[in-house]
Amino acid sequence: MAPDDNPSPQRPSPQSPSPLRVEPPNIRLDLSWPVAPTAPPRRRWARAVVAVVALATALGAGLAAGRLLWARPDASGQIAAGPGGAMMATGPLALALERQLASEQRPSAPVAIGITFAAADGAMCRTFVVRQTTETAGLACRARDGWRVRLAVSRNVPGDDAPAPVLEAVDQIIRGAPLDATSERAARDAGWIAK
């Protein structure tokens, strides 16, 4: 057999160029970069608890602030909303209305009591002045649940005398004459029950 008759594979000679092989580029697409990483389930649960606690705290603070503002409608803090929206004397004002006699009060007392009288409806009533930077003068009458403030007026001029609106309110409801010192003491000792 002649060398030309045998079809054997040809070997490239060292000087002949090798065939050109083109391989596709090794490209890997990562499409996760625009998506925010998610926290493990345990961390999501902790964030939910923190959010609920923050919401509950904010709600509680709002309710407390609302209650304080509702319970203290005047600047002096001596008058608060009572049952049915009635204004009720509280704190030092309530204490002074209950115990303090006009004839025995100190000039420096935080509350000055004016006149005490029986109203046409049978309640015992008293005028007062709460001494603060802005004074509050008014009229309160004794009820079963405490001293109900029928009228309160703020004023910037200090003084123990009741302003005109308070005196007009007294004139509209008074029965008889104001109590003297002896009658005032007797009314206090009887629990402010009108006779």
Residue 128 lies in a domain: yes
Specify if 2 maps to a domain: no
Determine, yes or no, domain membership for 25.
Answer: no
Residue 147 lies in a domain: yes
Mean of pLDDT values over 84-89? 86
Residue 92 falls within a domain, yes or no?
A: yes
Instruction: Write down the pLDDT at residue 123.
Output: 93
Q: What is the mean pLDDT of residues 25-53?
A: 64
Which helix (H) or strand (E) covers residue 17, if one does? none
pLDDT at 58 over 80: no
Which of these, 112, 137, 139, 106, lies nearest to 124 by C-alpha position?
139
Confirm whether 156 is domain-assigned.
yes
Specify the DSSP class assigned to residue 119: B
Whether the pLDDT of residue 83 is over 90: the answer is no
Residue 38 counted as domain residue: no
Is residue 31 domain-resident? no
Number of domains in the chain: 1
Residue 33 above 70 pLDDT?
Answer: no
Domain that holds residue 122: 79-189
Burial class (CB in 10 A: 0-12, 13-18, 19+), 120: exposed
